[in-house]
Structure 1
Amino acid sequence: MINSIMDTRERHEDGHYHIFLKIPRDEFERAYDGNYSNENAADFLTYYLEMRGDDGKPKNIIIKRSEKQDLVEIQADLEYYNNEHTDYNKQLGSFFINNMEPREEVNSLNKFNEHK
C-alpha cells in the first residue's frame, strides 16, 4: 500500500510544510473498516512518516474523500524543529498490524521489540 500513495508537499515561507497524501480508497477502507476518522488519518500518517524516515511532526490532520472517487486524501501541516529526530512512541500502529500476515506479525513484533 505504501507504494500506491501519492505524496505532495508545499513549503511555506515560515519553513513549515503542508502534506497531501492520496491513498486508494479501497485499501484505506480495508485497513480501517471504512472508518474515515481524523484519528485513523493520524495513525496512517504517523505510520507513513515512520516508514519514510521522515521527522516531520504532523498537526491539523484531516481526512476527506478526494475529488477522484477512488481516492482518500489526508492533509496535515508538518513541522521540523532544528532538524531533530522524532522519537516515535515505539508502538506498531493498527494500520501496520492489520496489513500483516500472522506469521509476519510475530516476526516483525520480535524485531521491533529488539530495537526498543
Structure 2
Amino acid sequence: MHGLGELESKVMDVLWSAARPLRVREVLELLDTPRPLAYTTVMTVLDNLHSKDYVRRDRVGRAYEYTAAESREEVGARLLREVLRSSGDTERVLLHFARSATPEESAILRRVLRGKESS
C-alpha cells in the first residue's frame, strides 16, 4: 500500500485479514517476513501506525489490541484523494487516468457512474 513502508504494509495486511483485534504477539506470529522479527520491532511498527491513524488500539489488561482504523479500500481511496489534491490539476490527472485505464478499470468506472456499483 502506497504511503506505508514495507513492514507497515505487511502489518496492515495481517490486521485487514484478521477477524478480530490482535495483540502484538499475534501480529508477530502471523507476519510473513523473510527473516524473524523481534517483538519490539512489531510493537514499534504498530505504535507508528497508530500515530499515523492507520490503526486503533484498545488497552486490554496490560496489553493493547490493534485493529485497522479503515478498510483496505477506504485507505486506498484516501491515498488516491491525497494524490489528486497534491497533483495541482485534479481534472488532468483524472482524465489521464481514465484514458490509460485497463478495460476492467473502465468497466468499473462506467458501472459506478451509472449508479450500479458493487461493494
TM-score normalised according to structure 2 size: 0.28
Structure with more of its chain in strand, by fraction: 1
Give 1 or 2 for the bigger CA radius of gyration.
2
TM-score normalised according to structure 1 size: 0.28
Structure with more of its chain in helix, by fraction: 2
